[in-house]
Amino acid sequence: MNQELLIRLFRAIEGDSNDDIVKIANKVIEDQSRLGHSKLAGKLQEILNKNIHSYSTFRGELKSLLPKGVTIPTDKRYNIPLATHIERDKLRHEMVLPEGIESKIKLIEREYVARERLKSFGLKPKQKILLYGSPGNGKSMTAERIAYNIGLPFLKVRFEAIISSYLGESASNLKKLFESIRSVPCVLLLDEFDFIAKARSKGQDVGEMHRIVNILLNLLEDYSAPGILVATTNFEGIIDFALFRRFDEIIEMPKPSKVEITRLLEQSLSSIRKHDVNLSSAATKLKGFSSALVVKVAQDAAKMAVIGGKKEMKQEHLLSAIKENTVFNKRK
């Protein structure tokens, strides 16, 4: 490879010192130095060091995306934050989703990125998203992944702080939180928001909770913050229908199919050596498991092999982990 091509290639490299691409680049520099091309090796090292520094600085800036001067409001009585800010490097974003669901989530991300272009045509991106489905299938993780991919701060509402036993304070807390993000681009997660959004025609909740649902209706209706609001629920049947109509997109997060289960196993076991392991067969036995439980099975199997002093994980470890977690799956 000629010098000019190598220099152009190195200028395109970004990452930190532990990334595979950087390790390969260092190996190329070593090879050039060994061949006597010390001047070229020095030039490549200079470019690489600069890129690593720039990338590290960029990651540092992204770590806390919440703008300076923006504070999360607290409840008046106990001074508890009404939402939790999760740093970018703590966000879960590597997911295995059915193709149709993946396409819908990607479209939400692409629309937000292209919001200015859409605006010029009188169009708006989807900003109010409702994710529903049984526990452990990626609803909350999807919200984190959206924030990670489009580079927005991630705030998770703390309903235990929102809801107060004192008359009127719960509604006040809810309004205060929405007011605080009115001009702050962020992803706001209302996780398991059926906690306050139960259908008004069901159950015995009256008075204060009834007023909170009405407040939430108005807040969702008027939501015009420059970010994205994601609400999740395990029980779509108990959500007030009027709330459903406030969302721009409603997506069911199903349990994984055999194809997704196999991919989850491959991803979860990628760092451990395997011998005579049939993931397809294991995926068949895991049908009906949630995504989270599939990952737990894989991790349990890997730990069995490591703790047992084995250099490789075998099918017996996987089958044993499946058997142990089947009981847990039946309880869910």
Provide the pairing of β-strand 313-314 with 274-275. parallel
Q: Does any domain span residue 77? A: no
Same domain, 90 and 226: yes
Bigger pLDDT: 45 or 96? 96
61 has a pLDDT exceeding 50: no
Find the mean pLDDT for residues 112-131: 94
CA distance 302 to 308: 10
Number of domains forming the structure of the chain: 3
Listed in sequence order, the residues at least 6 apart from 101 whose beta carbon sits closer than 8 Å to its beta carbon are: 251, 253, 254
Residue at a domain's end among 233, 252, 271: 252
The answer to whether the beta carbons of residues 99 and 106 sit under 8 Å apart is no
Indicate if 122 and 226 belong to the same structural domain: yes
Q: Is residue 74 assigned to a domain?
A: no
Does 158 share its domain with 133?
yes
| Summary mean pLDDT of the chain | 85
Residues 274 and 162 in one domain: no
Q: Is 211 helix (H, G, I), strand (E, B) or coil?
A: helix
Query: Cα–Cα distance between 319 and 321 in angstroms, integer?
Result: 5
Q: Which of 231, 252, 273 is the last residue of a domain?
A: 252
Asked whether residue 247 falls in the same domain as residue 120, the answer is: yes
When pLDDT is cut at 50, 70 and 90, the band that residue 64 belongs to is low
Domain boundary among 205, 221, 252: 252
The CATH number linked to 295 is 1.10.8.60
For residue 9, what are its two tokens?
């290639």
Q: Looking at the structure, tell me whether residues 50 and 126 fall in a common domain.
A: no
Range of the domain at 31: 3-63
Is 103 found in the same domain as 126?
Answer: yes
Residue 122 inside a domain? The answer is yes
Contacts of residue 102, Cβ cutoff 8 Å, sequence gap at least 6 = none
Clarify whether residues 116 and 174 are in a common domain: yes
Give the pLDDT confidence of 29-38 residue by residue, as tens digits: 888 888 888 8
- Report if residue 71 sits inside a domain: no
Residues 110 and 24: their CA atoms lie apart, in Å, by 32
Q: Are residues 138 and 230 in the same domain?
A: yes
Q: Residues 282-289: what's their mean pLDDT?
A: 95
Give the pLDDT confidence score for residue 204 in this predicted structure.
43
Tokens 């669901």 -> residue: 101
What pLDDT is stored for residue 154 in this prediction? Answer: 95
Q: Does residue 26 lie in a domain region?
A: yes
Judge whether 70 lies within some domain. no
Q: How confident is the model at residue 104 (pLDDT cuts 50, 70, 90)?
A: very high
The three-state (H, E, C) secondary structure of 117-172, written as one string: HHHCCCCCCCCEEEEECCCCCCHHHHHHHHHHHHCCCEEEECHHHHCCCCCCHHHH
**Mean pLDDT (whole number) for 282-287:** 95
In this structure, the answer to whether residues 96 and 238 fall within a common structural domain is yes
Residue that is written with structure tokens 């993780």 in the block: 141
Quick one: average pLDDT of 163-184? 83
Q: What is the mean pLDDT of residues 75-100?
A: 90
- Give the CATH number, domain containing residue 161: 3.40.50.300
Q: Are residues 46 and 96 in the same domain?
A: no
Q: Please indicate, yes or no, if residue 158 is contained in any of the structural domains.
A: yes
Q: Could you tell me which of 142, 144, 140, 52 has the C-alpha nearest to residue 89?
A: 144
Q: Does 330 have pLDDT greater than 50?
A: yes
119 and 222 co-located in one domain: yes
In a domain, 115, yes or no: yes
Strands 83-86 and 154-157: antiparallel
The whole-number pLDDT of residue 58 equals 43
